[in-house]
C-alpha cells in the first residue's frame, strides 16, 4: 500500500534536515547564496524578522510569486511561513508546493486562541515553543518538527538558550517521575497525556527539534547544537551582517563541527560585522514575538 | 570481532544509521574529519541534503579520500542523498559528487515534499516479504550501466542497486524497523 503525507513521511523530511542550517531568504539571489553556502533548506519570506520589527505593521504570508521564484532557483527544500491560525494561508502554501510550512509567531497572528489543525494537511509543519507543554501541544495538533522560539530579529541568543534549556530540563524531569505523577504533570503543563508518556519513556520529543531566534554567529550555532538541538534556523543573522556569504558558510561548518573548538576558532575569523542586534530587555511585552502562541 | 563501520556525519540522518548498525552488533564511527576514515571496514552515506553534504566533503579533501577507498573496494552504501553523491551523472546539476557508480540519477524525481510517500517494495535479494520503503523528496536512477545490478524498482523506476562493493537506495531503510537492508550491506563487508 502506498501512503502519501503519512506522519512518517512528514517527520522524515525533518530527519533529513538534521545537522543542517535553514536560512531565511527574501529573494532568489539570497536563496542561491544560501544553497551555495551549504544550507539544507531555505525559508522564503517577504521580510526578515529584524525588518518586520523595524518597519512594523501587519506581517503576513509572503507573495506567492516570491515563493515560486525561490523554488525555481534552488534544488534544496523551500519552506514558507503562515500566520498562526491562518489555515487558508497554509492551504495556499501547500498548493504552491512549499516543502514545509512554519506556523510562525514572527508573523502577526491571525487567530489569538487557536492554531492550525495540522493533521488536516499533506504538507508538514514546523512550530515554535518556549517550553515542553507548548512543544507537545503543537505536536498534538500535528506539527512534524519543533523549533525554539528564541527572540527573532534581535541577534541575541539568550532566549533560544533559555527555551532549549527549559525543554530539556522538563523532559529530564518527566523521565524521573513515577507513573502516577505523569497525569498531574500533563495537566500542569497543558500537554496531551499520551505525548507526556512518550517523553517520559524515551527522554526526547517524538519529532526533530531545531534552534531558532537570535542566532548570529558560528559560536551561537555551535552552542545551540551542544545544548542538544538537531539543527539551526538563521534569519536576520546572515543577511543583516557585513558579509552574508562568508557568515552563511561559517555557520554551516560550525553546525557540523560544533564540538571542535579549534576548528570553530578558525571558522569564526574574519567574518566582518555581525548584525548589530537588539538588547531584549529594551523590548516591551507587545514587541516580544515569543509571547505569541497559545 | 565486531565490524567497524563508518557513518558519514556531516549532515542528515546519520544517527538513525548508527542506531541500526549498533543493533546489528557493529562498532560505529561518526565520520566528520578525514582522519575518521582510518580503520573502518565500510561506510554509509546517509540521507540529508546532497548539496550540503557535497560542500562539506570538499573540505579537508574528505571526498577524494572516500573515492580512493571506494575504488579500492571498500563497501560503501548510500541512501537517498548518498545515492546522488555516489552517481557519476546527476541530471541537470554540476554539484560535487563522489563519481563512483555508473548510474544516472535524477534528483527530486518524484516531486516536492507533498509527493513524498511510503510503500511496500518487492526486493527478491532480501526474501519474499516486501520491504516497507520511505521515499522523501527521493531521487531515482534514470539509467544504469550493464555492470550495475538492479535490486528493486518502483513503478518501473530503479530505486535500489548494487555495483560490486557499492550499494545505493533511493529510499530510507534507516527510518523503518526492518534491518534487512543494513544486514545485506554488512554481508557485503563479510564477502570483502
- DSSP result, B17-49: HHHHHHHTT-EEEEE-SGGGGTT-SEEEE-SS-
Averaged pLDDT, A118-134: 97
List all residues 6 or more positions away from A149 whose beta carbon is below 8 Å from its beta carbon: A105, A128, A129, A130, A159, A160, A163, A212, A213, A289, A290, A293
Rounded Cα distance, A254 and A233, in Å: 13
Rounded Cα distance, A278 and A204, in Å: 32
**C-beta atoms of B13 and A37 within 8 A:** no
Compare CB distances from A256 to B32, B118, B119 and report the shortest one's residue.
B32
B130 touches chain A (CB under 8 A): no
Asked if A230 and A255 count as a contact pair (C-beta separation under 8 A), the reply is no
According to the model, what pLDDT value does residue A244 have? Answer: 94
Question: Is residue A97 left, alpha or beta, with left meaning phi > 0 and alpha meaning psi from -120 to 50?
Answer: left
The H-assigned helical ranges of chain A are 7-17, 28-37, 49-55, 64-73, 87-96, 132-140, 158-176, 182-189, 193-202, 218-226, 236-239, 244-256, 261-267
Least Cα separation, residue B191 to chain A (angstroms):
30
pLDDT band at B184 (very low <50, low <70, confident <90, very high): very high
Give me the percent of chain A exceeding a pLDDT of 90. 83
List all residues 6 or more positions away from A212 whose beta carbon is below 8 Å from its beta carbon: A128, A147, A148, A149, A150, A152, A160, A232, A233, A235
pLDDT band at A94 (very low <50, low <70, confident <90, very high): very high
Judge whether residue A19 has pLDDT over 90. Answer: yes
Predicted complex: ipTM over 0.90: yes
Q: Angle of helix B50-58 relative to helix A28-37, nearest 10 degrees?
A: 50
User: Given the C-alpha cell 504538507, which residue does it identify?
Assistant: A123
Instruction: Give pLDDT tens digits for A65-87.
Output: 999 999 999 999 999 999 999 99
Taken in order A128, A134, A135, A140, is the CA torsion positive or negative?
negative
Q: Which of A250, A214, A209 is nearest to A230 (CA)?
A: A209
Provide the chain A residues 226-265 that lie in CB contact (below 8 A) with chain B: 252-253, 255-257, 260
Asked if A42 and A23 count as a contact pair (C-beta separation under 8 A), the reply is yes
Q: Which of B106, B130, B118, B109 is nearest to B181 (CA)?
A: B130
What is the distance, to the nearest Å, from the Cα of residue A196 to the centroid of all Cα atoms in its chain? 22
According to the model, what pLDDT value does residue A291 have? Answer: 85
Known active-site residue A118:
no
Instruction: Give pLDDT tens digits for A177-218.
Output: 999 999 999 999 999 999 999 999 999 999 999 999 999 999
Averaged pLDDT, B143-151: 98
Averaged pLDDT, B158-169: 98
Rounded Cα distance, A221 and A251, in Å: 6
Averaged pLDDT, B148-164: 97
Q: Which of A155-169, A273-287, B160-174 has the lowest mean pLDDT?
A: A273-287
- pTM, 2 dp: 0.95
Rounded Cα distance, A5 and A25, in Å: 26
List all residues 6 or more positions away from B175 whose beta carbon is below 8 Å from its beta carbon: A8, A12, A15, B13, B16, B134
Compare CB distances from B136 to A2, A16, A256 and report the shortest one's residue.
A16
Judge whether residue A57 has pLDDT over 90. Answer: no
Least Cα separation, residue A258 to chain B (angstroms):
11
Q: Which of A39-53, A103-117, B50-64, B117-131 has the lowest mean pLDDT?
A: A39-53
Give me the percent of chain B exceeding a pLDDT of 70. 100
Judge whether residue A146 has pLDDT over 90. Answer: yes
**C-beta atoms of B117 and A2 within 8 A:** yes
User: Given the C-alpha cell 527539534, which residue does it identify?
Assistant: A209
Instruction: Give pLDDT tens digits for A234-284.
Output: 988 899 888 999 999 999 999 999 999 999 999 999 998 888 788 878 888
List all residues 6 or more positions away from A97 whose beta carbon is below 8 Å from its beta carbon: A71, B111, B112, B114
Q: What is the mean pLDDT of chain A?
A: 95
**C-beta atoms of A4 and B48 within 8 A:** no
According to the model, what pLDDT value does residue A257 have? Answer: 97
Residue from A8, A10, A81, A259 carrying the catalytic annotation: A81
According to the model, what pLDDT value does residue A92 have? Answer: 98
Q: Which of B122, B163, B116 is nearest to B139 (CA)?
A: B116
Residue from B26, B80, B106, B182 carrying the catalytic annotation: B80
Compare CB distances from B134 to A8, A17, A122 and report the shortest one's residue.
A8
Q: What is the mean pLDDT of chain B?
A: 97
List all residues 6 or more positions away from A187 whose beta carbon is below 8 Å from its beta carbon: none
Judge whether residue B164 has pLDDT over 80. Answer: yes
**C-beta atoms of B137 and A99 within 8 A:** yes
B108 touches chain A (CB under 8 A): yes
According to the model, what pLDDT value does residue A54 have? Answer: 84
Amino acid at each position: 500500500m502506498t501512503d502519501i503525507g503519512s506522519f512518517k513521511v512528514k517527520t522524515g523530511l525533518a530527519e533529513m534536515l538534521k545537522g543542517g542550517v535553514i536560512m531565511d531568504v527574501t529573494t532568489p539571489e539570497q536563496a542561491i547564496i544560501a544553497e551555495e553556502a551549504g544550507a539544507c533548506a531555505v525559508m522564503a519570506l517577504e521580510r526578515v524578522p529584524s525588518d518586520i520589527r523595524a518597519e512594523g505593521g501587519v506581517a503576513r504570508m509572503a507573495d506567492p510569486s516570491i515563493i515560486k521564484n525561490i523554488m525555481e532557483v534552488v534544488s534544496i527544500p523551500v519552506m514558507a511561513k503562515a500566520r498562526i491560525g491562518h489555515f487558508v494561508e497554509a492551504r495556499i502554501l501547500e498548493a504552491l508546493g512549499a516543502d514545509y510550512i512554519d506556523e510562525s509567531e514572527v508573523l502577526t497572528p491571525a487567530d489569538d486562541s487557536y492554531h492550525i489543525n495540522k493533521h488536516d494537511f499533506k504538507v508538514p509543519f514546523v512550530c515554535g515553543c518556549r517550553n515542553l507543554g507548548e512543544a507537545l501541544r503543537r505536536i498534538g495538533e500535528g506539527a512534524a518538527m519543533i523549533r525554539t522560539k528564541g527572540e527573532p530579529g534581535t541577534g541575541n541568543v539568550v532566549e533560544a538558550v533559555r527555551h532549549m534549556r527549559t525543554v530539556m530540563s522538563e523532559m529530564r524531569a518527566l523521565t524521573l517521575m513515577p507513573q502516577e505523577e505523569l497525569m498531574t504533570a500533563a495537566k500542569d503543563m497543558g500537554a496531551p497525556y499520551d505525548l507526556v508518556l512518550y517523553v517520559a519513556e524515551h527522554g526526547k520529543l517524538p519529532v526533530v527539534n531545531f534552534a531558532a531566534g537570535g542566532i548570529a554567529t558560528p559560536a551561537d550555532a555551535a552552542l545551540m547544537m551542544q545544548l542538544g538541538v538537531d539543527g539551526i534556523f538563521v534569519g536576520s543573522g546572515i543577511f543583516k551582517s557585513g558579509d552574508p556569504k562568508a557568515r552563511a558558510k561559517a555557520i554551516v561548518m560550525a553546525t557540523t563541527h560544533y564540538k571542535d573548538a579549534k576548528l570553530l576558532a578558525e571558522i569564526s575569523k574574519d567574518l566582518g560585522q555581525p548584525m548589530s542586534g537588539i538588547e531584549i530587555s529594551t523590548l516591551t511585552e507587545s514587541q516580544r514575538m515569543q509571547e505569541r502562541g497559545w | 570481532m565486531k565490524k567497524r563501520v563508518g557513518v558519514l556525519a556531516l549532515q542528515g540522518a546519520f544517527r538513525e544509521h548508527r542506531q541500526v548498525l549498533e543493533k546489528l552488533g557493529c562498532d560505529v564511527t561518526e565520520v566528520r574529519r578525514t582522519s575518521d576514515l582510518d580503520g573502518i571496514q565500510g561506510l554509509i552515506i546517509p540521507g540529508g541534503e546532497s548539496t550540503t553534504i557535497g560542500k562539506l566533503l570538499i573540505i579537508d579533501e574528505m571526498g577524494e579520500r572516500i573515492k580512493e577507498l571506494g575504488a579500492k573496494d571498500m563497501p560503501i552504501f548510500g541512501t537517498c542523498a548518498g545515492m546522488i553523491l555516489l552517481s557519476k551523472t546527476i541530471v541537470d546539476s554540476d554539484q560535487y559528487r563522489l563519481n563512483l557508480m555508473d548510474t544516472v540519477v535524477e534528483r527530486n524525481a518524484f516531486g516536492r515534499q507533498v509527493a513524498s510517500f511510503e510503500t511496500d517494495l518487492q526486493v527478491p535479494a532480501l526474501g519474499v516479504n516486501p520491504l516497507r520503503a520511505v521515499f522523501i523528496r527521493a531521487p531515482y536512477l534514470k539509467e544504469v550501466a550493464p555492470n550495475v545490478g538492479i535490486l528493486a524498482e518502483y513503478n518501473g523506476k530503479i530505486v535500489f542497486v548494487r555495483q560490486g562493493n557499492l550499494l545505493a537506495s533511493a529510499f530510507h531503510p534507516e527510518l523503518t524497523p526492518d534491518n534487512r537492508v543494513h544486514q545485506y550491506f554488512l554481508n557485503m563487508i563479510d564477502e570483502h
